[in-house]
Structure 1
Amino acid sequence: MNAPPAFPTLLSPIALGAHTLRNRTLMGSMHTGLDNLDRGVERLAAFYAERARGGAGLIVTGGFAMNLEALLDDHGPQLITPEQADALRPIPQAVHAEGGKILLQVLHTGRYGKTAQLVGASSIPSPINRRVPRTLGTAEVWRTIEDFVNCAELAMRAGFDGVEVMGSEGYFINQFTTTRCNDRTDEFGGSMANRHRLPVEIVRRTRERLGARALIMYRLSALDLVEGGAPAHEVIALAQAIEAAGADVINTGFGWHEAKVPTIAYLVPRAAFRFAAARIKRAIGIPLVISNRINVPEVAEDILAAGDADMVSMARPFLADPDFVRKAAAGRPDTINTCIACNQACLDFIFTNRPASCLVNPRAGRELEFMQMPAPTARRRIAVVGGGAAGLACAVTAAERGHQVTLYEAAPHIGGQLNLARAVPGKEEFHELVRYFGTRLDQEGVQVRLGQRPAAGELAAAEFDRIVVATGVRARRPGIQGLDHPKVVGYAELLSGRRQAGRRVAVIGAGGIGFDVAEYLLHEVADGGSPPAAEDEVSAFLTEWGVTTAPEVPGALQPPQPPRSLRSVTLLQRRPEKPGRTLGLSTGWALRARLEQRGLQTLSGCSYERIDDAGLHLRVNGEARLLEVDTVVICAGQESENALAVELRGVGIQPDVIGGAELASELDALRAIDQGTRLAMAL
């Protein structure tokens, strides 16, 4: 007898208007930047087709502007002419060939735009954009509505199954719906009905123009998370009006881009905003999609089975693993390469004008490039020394390609520096990455030899065809008098649990590791206790960041209530600028804010003199200081651990050296996994 499916609700079909989806997963919209590259449409077709092949029920593209005023920047995607529509045909064709369905997102950025023709509901600038928008006249708003409809019509010409109208995240439509940036006095401002007129007319006219065959999804801001945002009754009223106007399904978004509450970073608990989606679901008759920080099928199934939503949107999880659905359907969720919400290669790449990819899956967005890599011509015997991020990626990929791989790891378990990362509160998702690699090693038959540090002679005697050295890094010891004092603790000793810190701590080094150590130290709060259950974790997160579930509160904001830490921590930096500049663009601000709320002190322009019983003696911008601390944690950089590579060269073997062994820097899993994967593909 066949076992029942592991995720029966998630994997069940669902009717959306005239369409039936094969399951209840949505690959949500995200900017990829692939359209700006050579062969952009071909790259996007390959990118989306791979996700459709892996089982995604419905896919939404990144946003396309419907007129020049709507562009995010001068090079942003646009769909304005029939010729542009015809050029996009390969994208839906590729998705349909894999049994999937795909919508084109119609996006007007409004006051978030970075162009000279910036427009908005009112001439009120965004705090994250120095440009001041020009207020659209009433006739211009009606013309923009027509532009939305024309774009939807062009999407159907291109072969898409329909459109998503982007009305969330603080973009143009969302700017009209709230009083935060709409002070108009015409038919598009003032009363709630007037502020809702723009999205309602867009959906109503799109349905009239396209007829019943087009799938229309509206992206609704379920929580604005900004002052002057909408209270729940206005959000629900808009959802009901959008349903009446002819939408087939409502997708949810959480938080404007200018919100001071993190919504997708790793420190946000899974499904943290489920409560807001659930109350909209109860108020409408069409299907509702929930989004944000849902990255494993177990969480998705729980939400759907409880009736809190009808579909689950996962954008970055489909970057991490295009076969997410196929693996869940096979009853092997342990083989899913889980999104760890780091944002390093997706959002942070986009913010720095690089095409998006994924830290845990460097093939994402590079499908054409990897497709063109040559297939292995013979089965090779390969030794990989080092079971950190680089070595694991190399070993798994090489074995996947048919090579016979032996992985050596000196520690009693795999993971290397990943194990330090997953010890940091908020970075628990790194557990998933280590779990994934462990499962894949077993699946691909890699011989794993733990607790072994092979010498060059041993490797030479084994006559491997290739030897990969991925032995990682060791902590750098700065030249400070008293470094051997009992007060001094290395970051690896601390994060591994081998050493403890006192109540008063100085952290030397304000790079990513220093901030991780500060988070680790300050996370122990006065109420203590065991790790919270998932619902308690969400409640604590909402309380700390000032988010209320009370439906009557505009924008869902209340005063933040950070917990009181048991420790006092001072983070020290040699450079004179403000610490934290090297942190991720999309996550660093939230980490800095949380640590400040918990009492972190920072000092820049530091030079260190000595450590003794009194504490840490230093100079801050030339002025002598004494920090009377119990513990000094050293986070002063790393050095490559590459002695094995030197030894191998000494016996006439030229190894491949990757990861930290090749270049010591911050604990850079992004570079390590990419490098390990690419080397294995080239073997």
Structure 2
Amino acid sequence: MKLFEPFELGPVVLKNRVAVTSHKFSYRHWENDHERSTDKYLGYVRRRMEGGVGFFGLSALPVWGVDAQHPFQLEHVGSKLRRFADVAREHGCATFVQLHNAGVQGNSSLPGVNYDESVPSDGAGLVAFSAAPSTSGTEVAHEMSPDEIEAIIEGYGRLAELAVASGIDGVELHAGHGYLLQQSFTPWRNQRTDEWGPSTRFLRAVTARVRAGIGPKGVLGVRIATKDFRPPEAGGLTEQRLLEIALELADTGMVDYFNPTHGSQASDYGRVVGTYRRPLGEFLPSAARLRQELDGKAAVLGVGRVTTVQAAEDALQRGDCDFVGLTRAHIADPDILKKSKRGEADSVRLCVSANQGCIDRLGAGGDVYCFHNPDVGREYRRNDPQPVASPRSVVVVGAGPAGLKAAEIAARRGNDVVVLEASSQAGGRLGSITNVTSAHELVASTAWLEAELARMGVQVRLNVHVDEEVLASAGVDVVVLATGSIAPPPSFSTDGSVAVHSPELALKKLVGTPKKTLVVHDSLGTEEAMVTYEQLAASGHQVIITTPLPTISQSTGFTHRTDLLDRLKSWGCTLLERTDLVSATDGRVRAQHMLTGEIIELGPVAAVVLAQSRLPETSLLDAARRHSTEVLVVGDAYSPRDAMMAFTHGDIVARQI
């Protein structure tokens, strides 16, 4: 495969054309003296480098201005970078670090702007080319003076020098996603009339200073937008003008590669790091055009929901790019390259673009995680499941995410495992997702576990109703109760004239049936509720969404909300926020606005679907304790949460079997 061929990237030879692109892991690992967070990040990076990737982009380093009044004070970052450079050399991986300044974007009082826990820069705020309100906060940025602009340029240079002096192979300038470099050349964010007005002057000045700092042996890349999602009349730039900017920069001869992206502000990340709703390989056509126009002046990195080795190979064969990012694919399965080389592509744990752990959790202030790979973030302190000294017989009751994961880990440790499931399919509530929307990609997470269990010879027996008699006859050492959770009765009055369903029952009974008017009452604001009303609306039903929460899907991540409202609008859904249900009687539903007290009559309604908190299903617990030496409770049966935590809990508990 072309993907596994060596590739000359400027002065560095990559051992293959596979990249893990720069992405934030935590808000703390570059902080001074915060070694535990650095250890976590180093374990995460090491695990991906062990998989054989040729290019690894480290998490971005924020850039400060440097001048006589503000000396360079980031030497401590060098010692951290040297640790990553050492690991990279150990695995033959080229390592890069991204440099960025958020400019007007963000909030100067929150993490991510500075390298310590104090108020950034002794209280200094965001900086910009023109005073403007932040798109992701409430403050107005400070308009930089010419001297402050020069200081920022020097800050880029000093940080780049530190990186290569620490053993890093090169740096990538982030000139997309609405950061300062992109702000400098877009009229939307730069209304100056002096020499620093909207042009490529600042971008070229930063590029020249960084190239001087890293020298001819360092690699210089630029992440740049090929679409900014903003029309010219609103201060945006056309695709042609963005292409011209890249070509102008390439003509300087200082840039080794471009990393094309889309967007011009923080909220665009919801489209840039797309969920399963976004097209696969969405940005590759733009990359192909850029590569054609560059005509060999610089390499092009292809990104944008490339999830498999074959998709990456196809992009190379089409000529879309010179090397390819498989970033989230490596989060889900760091051995994706090894497995593919061995001809075991069907054993790769696929990225399902759930975004819950890798992007949205980070946006809420947590470290990177993964929807169905519980090792992520724990690599620094855990190993592969270790073989047991004395194998035991284990029965797992329930084949949802927690049960399947527990069975997989217990079997990898050498135990004799069988899984018993009451329904006709595995997967738990995830298994109820149909293919009427692309949310069906999520089902691949449990399908992978089913396939792994089959490869290990573990039986998953369906349509088995487990009771005390079954447990008594099983005669096993360990019972793992992964029996999930049950929906509590509705809190509103009902006379039975309107059916009341849980989300999983609604998807099984209503998707594919003739059009009905349905009320989906969402008291959670989570992914499960969101998937439910999307599936029902996409299958043709008239869906009325009520929620007592201030906004629709309040607890889903921002990458999901980006696309959600437009989709619901296209399906004709009705949204009633801050609204609770009062009754479902006489074929109609009565709701009440929680602030005004207004009663809203809805109907006729065929069914109410309740996305609500659930109760653990532990009715077998006492019987299990009577008929086995050890009983472990996992997933929702232990504590009803979401699928990501069910996978995690099943993994953690099974390591003690």
User: TM-score, with normalisation over the residues of structure 1?
Assistant: 0.85
For 1:352 and 1:491, how far apart are their aligned partners in 2? Answer: 26
For 1:16 and 1:346, how far apart are their aligned partners in 2? Answer: 28
Q: 1:598-629, CA deviations, whole angstroms, 9 ceiling, x for partnerless residues? A: 3322233323323334x324444544443223
Tell me: CA distance 1:396–1:372, structure 2 relative to 1, closer, same or farther (3 Å): closer
Aligned-partner SS, 2:226:
strand
> Is residue 582 from structure 1 mapped to residue 555 from structure 2 by the alignment?
yes
Q: 1:477-530, CA deviations, whole angstroms, 9 ceiling, x for partnerless residues? A: 315554643655543233125663634222233433443222112224xxxxxx
User: How far off is 1:444 after superposition?
Assistant: 2.7
Q: 1:678 aligns with which of 648, 652, 657?
A: 652
Tell me: CA distance 1:210–1:594, structure 2 relative to 1, closer, same or farther (3 Å): same
User: How far off is 1:407 after superposition?
Assistant: 1.6
> Is residue 233 from structure 1 mapped to residue 243 from structure 2 by the alignment?
no
> Is residue 401 from structure 1 mapped to residue 413 from structure 2 by the alignment?
yes
Q: 1:661 aligns with which of 602, 625, 637?
A: 637
8 Å CA contact 1:41–1:91 kept in 2: the answer is no
Tell me: CA distance 1:481–1:292, structure 2 relative to 1, closer, same or farther (3 Å): same
For 1:273 and 1:240, how far apart are their aligned partners in 2? Answer: 18
2:121 counterpart residue number: none
For 1:66 and 1:479, how far apart are their aligned partners in 2? Answer: 53
Q: 1:594 aligns with which of 567, 580, 595?
A: 567
For 1:571 and 1:660, how far apart are their aligned partners in 2? Answer: 25
User: How far off is 1:388 after superposition?
Assistant: 0.7
2:515 counterpart residue number: 502
1:213 counterpart residue number: 217
8 Å CA contact 2:106–2:134 kept in 1: the answer is no
For 1:372 and 1:12, how far apart are their aligned partners in 2? Answer: 29
Identity of aligned residues (%): 26
Tell me: CA distance 1:395–1:651, structure 2 relative to 1, closer, same or farther (3 Å): closer
* Count of residues in Structure 1 that have an aligned counterpart in Structure 2: 620
Tell me: CA distance 1:662–1:612, structure 2 relative to 1, closer, same or farther (3 Å): same
What's the RMSD between the two structures over aligned residues?
2.7
State which drifts further: 307-316 or 416-425.
Answer: 416-425
Q: 1:312-352, CA deviations, whole angstroms, 9 ceiling, x for partnerless residues? A: 22322221111122122222222111222222122222222
Q: 1:198 aligns with which of 195, 199, 202?
A: 202
1:420 counterpart residue number: 432
Tell me: CA distance 1:652–1:51, structure 2 relative to 1, closer, same or farther (3 Å): closer
8 Å CA contact 2:498–2:584 kept in 1: the answer is no
Q: 1:71-115, CA deviations, whole angstroms, 9 ceiling, x for partnerless residues? A: xxxxxxx99533431342111111221221110111211112432
Tell me: CA distance 1:651–1:466, structure 2 relative to 1, closer, same or farther (3 Å): closer
Tell me: CA distance 1:624–1:497, structure 2 relative to 1, closer, same or farther (3 Å): closer
Q: 1:608 aligns with which of 582, 585, 592?
A: 582
Q: 1:114 aligns with which of 99, 107, 116?
A: 107
Unaligned runs of 5+ in 1: 1-7, 71-77, 525-565
Q: 1:515 aligns with which of 493, 511, 530?
A: 530
Aligned-partner SS, 1:581:
coil
Q: 1:562-588, CA deviations, whole angstroms, 9 ceiling, x for partnerless residues? A: xxxx54321123x36344222224323
Tell me: CA distance 1:387–1:170, structure 2 relative to 1, closer, same or farther (3 Å): same
Q: 1:145-177, CA deviations, whole angstroms, 9 ceiling, x for partnerless residues? A: 222121111111111111111111111101112
Aligned-partner SS, 1:39:
helix
For 2:235 and 2:387, how far apart are their aligned partners in 1? Answer: 57
For 1:454 and 1:430, how far apart are their aligned partners in 2? Answer: 27
For 1:366 and 1:137, how far apart are their aligned partners in 2? Answer: 45
AA at the equivalent of 1:616: V
List aligned pairs for 1:327-406, cutoff 5 A: 327-371=339-383, 376-406=388-418
1:548 counterpart residue number: none
Aligned-partner SS, 2:150:
helix
List aligned pairs for 1:123-162, cutoff 5 A: 123-162=131-170
AA at the equivalent of 1:214: G
For 1:60 and 1:10, how far apart are their aligned partners in 2? Answer: 18
Q: 1:117-143, CA deviations, whole angstroms, 9 ceiling, x for partnerless residues? A: 311121122322212111122232223
AA at the equivalent of 1:492: E
List aligned pairs for 1:173-192, cutoff 5 A: 173-190=181-198
Q: 1:53 aligns with which of 33, 50, 58?
A: 50
Aligned-partner SS, 2:438:
coil
For 2:635 and 2:443, how far apart are their aligned partners in 1? Answer: 20
> Is residue 452 from structure 1 mapped to residue 425 from structure 2 by the alignment?
no
Q: 2:36 aligns with which of 22, 35, 39?
A: 39
User: How far off is 1:469 after superposition?
Assistant: 0.6
For 1:636 and 1:443, how far apart are their aligned partners in 2? Answer: 35
For 1:146 and 1:31, how far apart are their aligned partners in 2? Answer: 24
8 Å CA contact 1:473–1:641 kept in 2: the answer is yes
AA at the equivalent of 2:271: P
For 1:339 and 1:96, how far apart are their aligned partners in 2? Answer: 27
> Is residue 627 from structure 1 mapped to residue 569 from structure 2 by the alignment?
no
1:550 counterpart residue number: none
For 2:481 and 2:337, how far apart are their aligned partners in 1? Answer: 35
Q: 1:344-374, CA deviations, whole angstroms, 9 ceiling, x for partnerless residues? A: 1222222222221111112112112324987
2:89 counterpart residue number: 96
> Is residue 411 from structure 1 mapped to residue 408 from structure 2 by the alignment?
no
AA at the equivalent of 2:42: A
Aligned-partner SS, 1:359:
coil
AA at the equivalent of 1:19: V
For 2:45 and 2:180, how far apart are their aligned partners in 1? Answer: 26
AA at the equivalent of 1:41: T
Tell me: CA distance 1:298–1:652, structure 2 relative to 1, closer, same or farther (3 Å): closer
For 1:131 and 1:498, how far apart are their aligned partners in 2? Answer: 47
Aligned-partner SS, 1:30:
coil
For 1:266 and 1:361, how far apart are their aligned partners in 2? Answer: 17
1:317 counterpart residue number: 329
For 1:144 and 1:155, how far apart are their aligned partners in 2? Answer: 17
Unaligned runs of 5+ in 2: 109-123
Aligned-partner SS, 2:259:
strand
8 Å CA contact 1:295–1:317 kept in 2: the answer is yes
1:18 counterpart residue number: 11
2:118 counterpart residue number: none
For 2:361 and 2:430, how far apart are their aligned partners in 1? Answer: 21
Tell me: CA distance 1:651–1:42, structure 2 relative to 1, closer, same or farther (3 Å): closer
Tell me: CA distance 1:504–1:448, structure 2 relative to 1, closer, same or farther (3 Å): closer
Q: 1:641-672, CA deviations, whole angstroms, 9 ceiling, x for partnerless residues? A: 2222232135575511111112234xx11110
1:554 counterpart residue number: none
Aligned-partner SS, 1:91:
helix
Aligned-partner SS, 1:181:
coil
1:281 counterpart residue number: 291
> Is residue 63 from structure 1 mapped to residue 60 from structure 2 by the alignment?
yes
User: TM-score, with normalisation over the residues of structure 2?
Assistant: 0.88
User: How far off is 1:307 after superposition?
Assistant: 0.8
For 1:503 and 1:69, how far apart are their aligned partners in 2? Answer: 64
Q: 1:84 aligns with which of 77, 81, 85?
A: 77
2:622 counterpart residue number: 646
